[in-house]
């Protein structure tokens, strides 16, 4: 099979050897190679490369994204091929560890204990079983985060548009967002970027959270109304916000998130696609597409993910 690697040049040195080692039958070519587009069987894609027009690749059976989020390709009007998002077990593990680490920091009140000589022994936190965590978005990442938090002992609730059940998690459906928020002493947002989720956490919905709740957002920056988050922090209704994703990245130096005492900014590092765990997923899907088997993690164009 002839596969076009349509991704930033910086990814080639790591991805090309891994893919060809796993699939020696693959001929992997780059966007700048002089190859007839009609002879391309599949495309491996990541935003930031030189390829935008997918229309010449009339015989490509699959576009395999290297990213979990596909909002920067699913809206491309030249995309007519089936599109699969990346579900990388390494990425899911990384996201679970990030969310668990910050949830524990919120739960244990680690920031309370300033090293200033004052003995604050009246600030003992409750046990995890007494602290409610709610996850917005119960896809692959949300389920991984829920499993890790449940293993520590946190009662975990989830919200998803489908309302599909998840073992060990109380799942709220699309009509129960307010109830999901009302239970969230720690709120973790892992929603995709879609027209339905943009600006979802506005002033009205943030007001539904319990007093002093923590917000952890490693999903998509578009889910937040930035001004509403700042207002909720200033009023004290929101205790702290840990933000890893933003509407504009890198986050501009003059953005008030940088200087707010109740905001922790991390530079989009919550989870990363790891070649060693993601390459087998890509190869499996390429082989499925070539043999006419069902493709894994196929994107629903109408939903956008």
Per the annotation, the verdict on 255 as an active-site residue is: no
User: Is residue 220 flagged as an active site residue?
Assistant: yes
Q: Which of 268, 274, 287, 288 is catalytic?
A: 268
Distance (Å, rounded) from C-alpha 268 to C-alpha 272? 9
First to last CA, the chain: 27
Angle at 147 between CA 145 and CA 151, to 5 degrees: 120
> Please, where are the H alpha helices in the chain?
12-22, 71-74, 89-108, 140-152, 177-182, 203-206, 226-235, 275-291
Rounded to 10°, the helix 12-22/275-291 angle is 50
DSSP string, 195-256: TTTTT-B-HHHHTTSPTTEEEEE-S-GGGB-HHHHHHHHHHTSEEEEEE---SSSSPPTT-T
Catalytic one of 61, 85, 220, 240: 220
Active site residues: 220, 268
């Amino acid at each position: 099979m002839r596969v076009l690697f349509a991704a930033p040049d910086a990814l080639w040195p790591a991805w090309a050897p891994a893919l060809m080692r796993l699939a020696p039958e693959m001929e992997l070519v780059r966007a700048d190679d002089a190859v007839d587009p009609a002879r391309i069987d599949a495309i491996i894609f990541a935003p930031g490369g030189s390829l935008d027009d997918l229309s010449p690749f009339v015989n490509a059976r699959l576009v395999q994204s290297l990213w979990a989020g596909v909002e920067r390709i699913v809206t491309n009007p030249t995309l007519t091929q089936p599109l699969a998002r990346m579900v990388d077990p390494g990425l899911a593990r990384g996201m679970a560890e990030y969310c668990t680490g910050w949830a524990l920091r919120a739960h244990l009140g680690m920031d309370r204990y300033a090293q200033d000589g004052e003995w604050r022994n009246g600030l003992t936190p409750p046990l995890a079983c007494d602290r409610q965590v709610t996850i917005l978005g119960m896809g692959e990442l949300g389920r991984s985060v829920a499993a890790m938090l449940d293993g520590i002992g946190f009662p975990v609730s989830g919200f998803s548009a489908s309302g599909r059940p998840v073992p060990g998690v109380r799942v709220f459906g699309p009509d129960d967002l307010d109830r999901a928020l009302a239970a969230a002493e720690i709120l973790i947002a892992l929603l995709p970027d879609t027209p339905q989720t943009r600006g979802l956490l506005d002033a009205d919905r943030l007001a539904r959270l319990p007093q002093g709740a923590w917000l952890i957002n490693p999903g998509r920056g578009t889910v937040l109304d930035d001004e509403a988050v700042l207002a909720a922090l200033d009023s004290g209704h929101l205790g702290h916000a840990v933000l890893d994703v933003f509407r504009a990245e890198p986050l501009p130096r003059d953005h008030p998130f940088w200087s707010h005492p109740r905001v922790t900014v991390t530079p989009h590092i919550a989870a990363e696609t790891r070649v060693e765990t993601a390459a087998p997923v890509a190869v499996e899907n390429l082989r499925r597409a070539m043999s006419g088997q069902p493709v894994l993690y196929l994107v629903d164009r109408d939903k956008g993910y």
